[in-house]
Chain A
Amino acid sequence: DGGITQSPKYLFRKEGQNVTLSCEQNLNHDAMYWYRQDPGQGLRLIYYSQIVNDFQKGDIAEGYSVSREKKESFPLTVTSAQKNPTAFYLCASSSFLGPQNIQYFGAGTRLSVL
């Protein structure tokens, strides 16, 4: 079954704690993305990666970090520097092949602060 798997579905963070959200894809896609969605809002780009061992900041990268050691995996760490982390986090991937650059999304991780 091809697709994008995000885990966990729900995550709680304590004050001063770093937490890591997992994103794995088996679509053999080159590019991967992390978005943040606040209630009633659209998606905002946090980080993206076009290739292994390379990634770029999106519009709201402060307080977040990522790594891309494998093509299939793009974990997101929400650091203690992110003062308002409560949101719905979405991971996506896309392929550069062909004229379409459609993004495929995971089911999301909902992060809350304790």
Chain B
Amino acid sequence: LAKTTQPISMDSYEGQEVNITCSHNNIATNDYITWYQQFPSQGPRFIIQGYKTKVTNEVASLFIPADRKSSTLSLPRVSLSDTAVYYCLVGYSGGYQKVTFGTGTKLQVIP
């Protein structure tokens, strides 16, 4: 399983763009990168998934460089409701995958 490293916490003001970087130096060829968001006392929620280059959906963008040893989750113009813990996971997406949720990055959005 690829080990991931991400900052423990980040603060941002409302309206700013937030970038959370995840390092995964031993990512395997078949591994995908997936990000989840978790609010207090709720289950994690899928945000975005990618394999290479850039992926964008209505919530976020995911940037993955050519060597795939890191990835950056970008949240445009955050609001107070984006205050949550964000988890970066790396694993094979074909069939069952045992993934490891680390401690994630706690994002605090400040008014």
CB within 8 Å of B: which residues of A? 4, 31, 35, 40-45, 48, 50, 58, 88, 90, 92, 94, 96, 99-108, 110
Contacts and interface: CB of A to CB of B under 8 A. Distances in A.
A102 B36 CA distance: 10
27 contacts: A4-B43, A31-B96, A42-B101, A42-B102, A42-B103, A43-B44, A48-B96, A50-B96, A58-B98, A88-B41, A99-B32, A99-B94, A100-B32, A100-B49, A101-B32, A101-B91, A101-B93, A101-B94, A101-B95, A102-B34, A102-B49, A105-B44, A105-B45, A107-B42, A108-B41, A108-B42, A108-B43
Contacts of B63: none
Contacts, number: 60
Interface string B64-107: 00000000000000000000000100011111111111111000
B3 to A, nearest CB: 13
Interface residues of B, number: 25
Nearest to A90: B43
Contacts of B13: none
A24 to B, nearest CB: 14
Given A43-B44, A90-B44, A108-B41, 5 more contacts: A40-B103, A58-B98, A100-B49, A101-B92, A104-B46
Interface string B29-71: 0001010100001111110010000000000000000000000
Contacts of B32: 99-101
